[in-house]
Amino acid sequence: MFVAGFLCVAGIAFLWASATQVEVKDGVNLGKALVGVLLLGLAAWTVLYIRARRIVLGPGSIESHGSLSHRTIARSAILGWRILPGHWVWIVEIIPREAGENRLLIQLFYETDSQFQDWFSSLPYLGNHDSGKP
């Protein structure tokens, strides 16, 4: 949400600068206004992306619901999990047993509860991500 807030403030600043500038030189005001509108649109998209994301923990599976995607992994198909450092948030990486399956990445901008922690504590923890290797 920090990124969305930053984009929103930057968009408003560009719109304010385009509205308060007295002289118009070669469409500079229009350019600032367009940048401001684009930044506000990107902020709105970021908020919607974060709000549409859900993680559902069932007794036998984990489901990841996104705005355009849905994925379910059976608990028996999970090898383990580990923590990856992100730019602004930590990421939980769920590693499947099958080598050809894609990993499931969960960005921890969600508030976790005891059920979340209990669900993961019963799976093998594979350690922190090391030296940039997947």
Q: How many CA atoms lie within 13 A of 131 on its CB side?
A: 0
pLDDT in tens, 100-117: 889 998 887 767 788 888
At 82 the pLDDT is 92
- Alpha helices, H only, 1-134: 2-20, 28-52, 114-121
At 78 the pLDDT is 94
Residues 82, 71: contact at Cβ < 8 Å?
no
Average pLDDT of the residues of the chain: 78
At 60 the pLDDT is 92
Residues 62, 73: contact at Cβ < 8 Å?
yes
pLDDT band at 41 (very low <50, low <70, confident <90, very high): confident
**90 vs 46, residue with greater confidence:** 90
pLDDT above 90 for 34: no
CA 23/CA 38 separation, integer angstroms: 23
Residues 91, 107: contact at Cβ < 8 Å?
yes
* Its pTM surpasses 0.75: no
Beta pairing class for 61-65 and 54-57:
antiparallel
Q: Report the range of poorest mean pLDDT among 27-31, 115-119, 126-130.
A: 27-31
At 131 the pLDDT is 42
Which residue is associated with the tokens 């500079």?
A: 28
Q: Where are the domains of the chain?
A: 2-51, 54-121
DSSP-derived 3-state class of residue 126: coil
Which amino acid is located at 81 in the chain?
W
